[in-house]
Chains A and B, each alone.
Chain A
Amino acid sequence: MTKPEGELTWRDLEIGSIVTEAGNASQYQTGDWRSERPIFDNNKCIKCGLCYIFCPEGCIGQNAEGYFDADLFYCKGCGICARECWPKAISMVPEEE
């Protein structure tokens, strides 16, 4: 797609709204569904990777130091990472804070 979705007019659409570009689901910002976001406390983190394994969105990644963080463009704020993190290194905070 040449334009972001929010700028496309009805005239810009392909026949039958066909999508011609592969993999453009990555442009879809699911992050704006979120009401709470995960905060990672690296002092408690033991780098076990459970948050990474359980994240249904696949948006948690590991940085060079081995700690984890969520890509907030995609994170829907489901809180599964915080629930599964047994050292309690992840807490969910409301978006407005």
Chain B
Amino acid sequence: MAKRVGIEVSLAIAEAAKLARADVVAAYPITPQTHIVEHLAKLVADGEMDTQYIPVESEHSAMSACLGASAAGARTFTATAGQGLELMHEVMYVASSMQLPVVMTVVNRALSAPLSVWGDHSDVMAVRDTGWIQIFAENGQETVDNVLCAFRIGEDRRVLLPVMIHLDGFYLSHVIEPVLFPEQSQVDKFIPPYQHPMPLHPDRPVTMGAFGPPIIYAETKKAQEVNLEASKEVILQCWDEFGKTFKRYYSPVESYHSEKAKVLLLTMGSFGETAMTAIDKMRGEGREVGLIRLRLWRPFPFKEIRQAVKNAEALIVLDRALSFGGPGGPVCSEIKAALYGEDKKPKVIGFVGGLGGRDITPAGFEEIINRGIEISQKGSENEFEIFGVRE
């Protein structure tokens, strides 16, 4: 039987890595990820977790150590946040292009300067194109469930890709939540042992990350792109299997009262829960509004997004990151790109908000929706606004 435990989400993530029997953890502490690696270190030191814990001198080394471990055939886990993720940046491309299924929780944090330890999605968006599978979690349970799924998806022979699970710094990482933990035997059954088909081994030498001259580089990138695209099928199968086993169901795009809604709001991560409260209130007042939550960020769920929003008149996208000098929020610009060729599509209105830990309350979401409707009626949706900024 599954156990229901009141636990801080960071600690729950470490427990999930333990349940998944991670062989190697290489990590460097950084707020707001610290509690995850602290708890992992404790579990290993107390002999509760049979894992090689590698303390490293930086995130760059953390990811590099993870690559080596994964290449040798070890199930590998790490976690980071904000600046730490940026320091890993170049090594992350190596993980995906060498097809090493490292699992990493990213406790989303704003980037300096000014120094901010609080949450937003600036760190995630900067690693958007690193070729990792990326999933956003909305609450602690989703985080734990998707850490388990991440090992199964990433290590699948048809995939062999690293996976990032994103959770909002403090909003999720430091909250104490009731979390259902499956039995060890259930997890063992759900996640088969990791077997890289060609690991580093003296008996069968291989070269990983070799030199790729112009004559072959484009082919390697095409193979990588096709592989990441194809991983979606395996992700869907995994979530389906997870649902059958544990009775919690996940999909790339979640719709909340969106079927007949004229106006839709789109959020990612923990803001979805607050937004739902706002949607409930507005629907109670007879407003035709609904919510779309984007869970799967890479590979991008084009089909599901198009399907979810096609009947709406206006789609209001809230980004928690800013693409400076660009089209506003990166999520909004991708949604616009996904819908551009569609015959039937809503007007897309972009907002950037919740930067560097700035809260958006249910009343705030209501304001965003009302302002979005106003913008769509004026036809000035090519501009974006930073919500709540003092002029």
Interface set of A (CB-CB < 8 Å, partner B)? 5-6, 8-20, 22, 25, 28
B222 sits at the interface (CB 8 A): yes
Distance to closest chain B CB from A7 (angstroms): 10
Q: Are B216 and A16 in contact (CB under 8 A)?
A: no
Given the contacts A10-B220, A10-B223, A15 and B99 also touching, CB distance less than 8 Å: yes
Q: Given the complex, which residues of A lie within 8 Å of B100, measured CB to CB?
A: 16
Interface set of B (CB-CB < 8 Å, partner A)? 97-100, 160, 197-198, 205-208, 210-213, 215-216, 219-220, 222-223, 226
What are 23 A-B pairs at a CB distance below 8 A?
A5-B213, A5-B215, A5-B216, A6-B215, A8-B216, A8-B219, A10-B219, A13-B219, A14-B198, A15-B198, A16-B99, A16-B100, A16-B160, A17-B98, A17-B212, A17-B220, A17-B223, A18-B206, A19-B210, A20-B198, A20-B206, A22-B207, A28-B211
Of the candidates A5, A8, A13, A19, the one whose C-beta lies within 8 Å of that of B206 is A19
Q: Are A10 and B226 in contact (CB under 8 A)?
A: yes
Q: Given the complex, which residues of A lie within 8 Å of B220, measured CB to CB?
A: 10, 13, 17
In angstroms, Cα B220 to Cα A16, docked, is 8
Distance to closest chain B CB from A28 (angstroms): 7
Q: Nearest CB to that of B160 among chain A residues?
A: A15
Q: Given the complex, which residues of B lie within 8 Å of A28, measured CB to CB?
A: 211, 213
In angstroms, Cα B330 to Cα A44, docked, is 68
Distance to closest chain B CB from A53 (angstroms): 26
Distance to closest chain A CB from B93 (angstroms): 12
Q: Nearest CB to that of B226 among chain A residues?
A: A10
Q: Given the complex, which residues of B lie within 8 Å of A12, measured CB to CB?
A: 219
Given the contacts A15-B198, A28-B213, A9 and B219 also touching, CB distance less than 8 Å: yes
Distance to closest chain A CB from B203 (angstroms): 13
Distance to closest chain B CB from A76 (angstroms): 14
In angstroms, Cα B222 to Cα A20, docked, is 20
In angstroms, Cα B24 to Cα A74, docked, is 42
Distance to closest chain B CB from A33 (angstroms): 11
Q: Are A19 and B207 in contact (CB under 8 A)?
A: yes
Q: Nearest CB to that of B208 among chain A residues?
A: A18
Distance to closest chain B CB from A13 (angstroms): 5
In angstroms, Cα B99 to Cα A81, docked, is 42
In angstroms, Cα B210 to Cα A25, docked, is 10
In angstroms, Cα B210 to Cα A20, docked, is 11
Q: Are B97 and A16 in contact (CB under 8 A)?
A: yes
Q: Given the complex, which residues of A lie within 8 Å of B160, measured CB to CB?
A: 15-16
Of the candidates B198, B205, B212, the one whose C-beta lies within 8 Å of that of A22 is B205
Q: Given the complex, which residues of A lie within 8 Å of B211, measured CB to CB?
A: 25, 28
Q: Given the complex, which residues of A lie within 8 Å of B222, measured CB to CB?
A: 10
Q: Given the complex, which residues of B lie within 8 Å of A9, measured CB to CB?
A: 219
In angstroms, Cα B215 to Cα A18, docked, is 16
In angstroms, Cα B99 to Cα A8, docked, is 19
Q: Nearest CB to that of A25 among chain B residues?
A: B211
In angstroms, Cα B215 to Cα A6, docked, is 6
Of the candidates A8, A11, A16, A20, the one whose C-beta lies within 8 Å of that of B98 is A16
Q: Given the complex, which residues of B lie within 8 Å of A16, measured CB to CB?
A: 97-100, 160, 208
Task: Give the top 9 A-B pairs by smallest Cβ distance, nearest first.
Answer: A16-B99, A19-B207, A10-B222, A10-B219, A10-B223, A16-B98, A17-B220, A19-B210, A18-B206
In angstroms, Cα B348 to Cα A79, docked, is 61
In angstroms, Cα B213 to Cα A13, docked, is 14
Given the contacts A10-B226, A28-B213, A18 and B219 also touching, CB distance less than 8 Å: no
* Other A-B pairs, 11, CB within 8 Å; known A14-B198, A17-B220: A9-B219, A10-B222, A11-B223, A13-B219, A13-B223, A15-B197, A17-B210, A17-B223, A19-B208, A20-B198, A28-B211
